[in-house]
Structure 1
Amino acid sequence: MTSRTPAPFGRALCAMITPFTEAGALDLDGAQRLADHLVAEGCEGLVLSGTTGESPTTSDAEKSALVRAVADAVGDRARIVAGVGSNDTRHTAELARAAEKAGAHGLLVVTPYYSKPPQDAVAAHFRTVADASGLPVLLYDIPGRTGTRIEPDTILRLADHPRIVGVKDCAYDILGSQKVISRTELAYYAGCDEYNLALYAVGGAGHISTVANAIPRRLRAVLDAFDAGDTAGARGGQLAATPLIELMMASGLPGAVTAKALLGTLGLPSGPVRAPLLPAAREATDGLRAAYEALSA
C-alpha cells in the first residue's frame, strides 16, 4: 500500500453545487438537503463555493449563509471547506475570516486570476490569506481558469506555512504533483475526476470531485478498494465511471452546468445556473442521464 499524508478533510470530498431557486435566489433548504444526501452517500467532506459552486456569481453574504446552513445540516459527520478565493488579496482575507466565523473547517484558496501575478506575488498572496484566519488552507491550482499556475517550486516554498496543508490539483501536471508529494507532507486532492485514482495511487489524499454530486458512493468505493489492496477493483470502478466523467467534465460544458442538469433529472436540489452560464440543452441532459443509468445498471 502506498504511504500517504493523512487527509485533513477526509479522502472523498464533493465539490458541491450551490442550489438556487427557480427564481435564481440562494436555496438554503435545498443546500441542506443535498449536503445531507451527499454525506449519507459517503462524502467525508464538502467543498462549498468552488468552481462547481458558481462562486464568481454568489455574493459574500450568500457564501457565508451557505457555510452556516450546510454546517448546521451535516454537523460533525463531514468537514466543510469554504472557497474564499478571489483576484484581490484583501478581499480574499476578508472572505477567509467570514468563512471561519460561519463555521467552516478549512479554506480553498484559488490563485488570483486575471492579474497574472508572478510567482513571488502568488506566494505572498497565499501567505497573507493563510495568516488571516486560524483555518487550514488548501491551495487551488487551476491555471486553465485563472491564467496563472502555482508552480511546483512555489508550492514547495509554501509548504513550510503551518496552515497551508494541501492542494486541490487541477494543473494537469502529474509529474509536478509527484514532485511535491514526494518532498512534502502536503495533502494532494485530485480536482479533475479522471485523475482520482492515478493521483491517489502515488500518495494523493483523495479527491474533490464534481462528479461526486451524482455518484458519490461509487467514487468513494474506488478509494476504498485501493486502500483494501483491491487494485483491480479500484481500476474497474474508475474506468466504469469514465463515460460519465467525460460527459460531465470534458463535453465543452462547465461542471456546474452538467452537474445541475443531471441532479435535476434525479430529483435532487439543483435549480438553474446563474448567468453568464446557461443551462444544458435537452440533448446534453439526456446524454448525462443515459450515462448515469448505464453506470447504475
Structure 2
Amino acid sequence: MFKGSMVAIITPFNSDGSVNEDKFRELVEFQIENGTDVIVPCGTTGESATLNYEEHDLVIRACIDQVNGRVPVVAGTGSNSTAEATELSRHAKEMGADGLLLVSPYYNKPSQEGLYQHYRTIAEEVALPQILYNVPGRTGMNMLPGTTIRLAEIDNIVAIKEASGDVTQASEIISKAGDKIDVLSGDDFLTLPLMACGAKGIISVTANIMPKEVKAMVTAIEENRWDDARAMHLKMLDIHNAMFIESNPVPVKTAVSLLGKCEPTIRQPLCDLQPASLETLKTVMQGYGLL
C-alpha cells in the first residue's frame, strides 16, 4: 500500500522556536518535485516529541493541504500513551491523512503482549491503514518478529518500519507474514539489503536533502537493476552516516539549513550540532556537491 521512497520530513521552526508553516510547505513541494512517493510528517525526525497538540495538527493539516492528493500522506501519531496515540490518530484521520505511522511506546518498556494490545487498540479505534515503527535504539525495547506477525493479522495494520538494524529480524517477518504486512526500511544504509530480502521501500532521513538520489536507488531496485542500485547504495553511505553523527534530527535539520531551506533551530533538550560535527557534516556535503 505504501511503498517506494518515503521521507520522514523535518519540521522547520522559526528562530523563536515556533513552527514555520511556509518553509514546511516549501519542503513538501521540494519532495514532490523530486519524486518522493510518500510524505511522512510528525515522525520522530519531525521532532514530534516536542510538538504540542495544536502544532501536531497544524503540521499534518499543512502537509495534507500542500500535497493536495498528489502523493499519500502518512501522519506520525505515535505516543507512549495508547490513549494519546489514539486521539492523535483520530485527528489525523479527520484531517484527511492516508495512513498513520505509530512508533512503539518509548520509556514505558511494555512487554510483547503490551505492545500487541497497544497497537490492536489503535487499529480498532481508528479505521486507517497503519504502519508500525520499531526503533529499539530510541524506545528502549525491541518489538520481536512474533509480535509483528501477530499484528499482521489485523486488517488495517499494513506495514512495519523496521529500524532495529537487524536484517535477520526483518527477514523473519517477510518470510512468515510477507503476504500480510509490508516491511519498510527504517535505516537509509539498510535500504538495499532489506529490499533485496523483500522490503517494499524506505522511510528515509537522507531524502530530506537528497530526495532524487534516494528515489533513484529505490527505483533501480524495483526495476531489478542491481548493479546500478549497489553503486548508488555505496555512493550514499557517507551521507547516510553523516545524518547520524549526532542524535537525529539534529544533523539532517542542520543539513537542510545549510541548503538554505530552513533555520537550523532545534527544540530542547536537543541542541545545535557541535562544532566538530558541523565541520564533518559540511565536508561530507561538499563531497556530494550539495554545498
Which of the five TM-score ranges fits, normalised by the shorter chain? over 0.9
Contact persistence 1:33–1:269 (CA under 8 A): no
What per-residue deviation string (whole Å, max 9, x for no partner) do you get for residues 65-100 of structure 1? 111111111112221111111111111110110111
* Aligned counterpart for 1:216 among listed residues 206, 211, 219: 211
Cα distance in 1 for residues equivalent to 2:263 and 2:90? 28
Contact persistence 2:10–2:41 (CA under 8 A): yes
Contact persistence 2:15–2:263 (CA under 8 A): no
Cα distance in 1 for residues equivalent to 2:8 and 2:153? 26
1:117 Cα deviation after fit:
1.0
1:294 Cα deviation after fit:
1.6
Report the equivalent of 1:228: 223
1:150 Cα deviation after fit:
1.1
Cα distance in 2 for residues equivalent to 1:293 and 1:76? 35
Report the equivalent of 1:193: 188
Contact persistence 2:7–2:38 (CA under 8 A): yes
Report the equivalent of 1:46: 39
Cα distance in 2 for residues equivalent to 1:113 and 1:70? 25
Counterpart mapping for 1:271-286 below 5 A: 271-286=264-279
* Aligned counterpart for 2:94 among listed residues 89, 92, 101: 101
Name the stretch that deviates more: 134-143 or 284-293: 284-293
1:270 Cα deviation after fit:
4.4
Report the equivalent of 1:84: 77
Q: State, as a whole percentage, how many aligned pairs show the same letter.
A: 34
Q: Which amino acid is the alignment partner of residue 58 of structure 1?
A: L
Contact persistence 1:10–1:79 (CA under 8 A): no
Q: Which amino acid is the alignment partner of residue 46 of structure 1?
A: I
Please give the TM-score of this superposition, normalised by the length of structure 1: 0.94
What per-residue deviation string (whole Å, max 9, x for no partner) do you get for residues 153-187 of structure 1? 01111100011000011112211111111222211
Report the equivalent of 1:257: 250
RMSD: 1.3
3-state SS, counterpart of residue 154 of structure 2: coil
3-state SS, counterpart of residue 70 of structure 1: helix
3-state SS, counterpart of residue 52 of structure 1: helix
Cα distance in 2 for residues equivalent to 1:73 and 1:286? 34
Question: Which of structure 1's runs of 4+ aligned residues deviate more than 4 A?
Answer: none
Cα distance in 1 for residues equivalent to 2:84 and 2:223? 43
Cα distance in 2 for residues equivalent to 1:195 and 1:40? 25
Counterpart mapping for 1:1-297 below 5 A: 8-184=1-177, 185=179, 186-249=181-244, 251=245, 253-296=246-289
3-state SS, counterpart of residue 14 of structure 1: strand
Q: What is the number of equivalent residue pairs in this alignment?
A: 288
Cα distance in 1 for residues equivalent to 2:262 and 2:38? 18
Contact persistence 2:134–2:143 (CA under 8 A): yes
What per-residue deviation string (whole Å, max 9, x for no partner) do you get for residues 214-248 of structure 1? 11111111111122222111001011000111111
What per-residue deviation string (whole Å, max 9, x for no partner) do you get for residues 229-277 of structure 1? 221110010110001111112x2x1221001111111111244010000
Cα distance in 1 for residues equivalent to 2:218 and 2:71? 17
Cα distance in 2 for residues equivalent to 1:138 and 1:149? 16
Cα distance in 2 for residues equivalent to 1:137 and 1:290? 38
Q: Which amino acid is the alignment partner of residue 237 of structure 2?
A: T
Please give the TM-score of this superposition, normalised by the length of structure 2: 0.96
Cα distance in 2 for residues equivalent to 1:264 and 1:296? 15
Q: Unmatched 5+ residue regions in structure 2?
A: none
Q: Which amino acid is the alignment partner of residue 115 of structure 1?
A: N
Contact persistence 1:19–1:27 (CA under 8 A): yes
1:19 Cα deviation after fit:
0.7
Cα distance in 2 for residues equivalent to 1:270 and 1:228? 37
Contact persistence 2:4–2:219 (CA under 8 A): no
Contact persistence 1:18–1:270 (CA under 8 A): no
Report the equivalent of 1:3: none
Cα distance in 2 for residues equivalent to 1:56 and 1:270? 19
Contact persistence 1:119–1:150 (CA under 8 A): yes
Cα distance in 1 for residues equivalent to 2:121 and 2:263? 34
Cα distance in 2 for residues equivalent to 1:170 and 1:188? 10
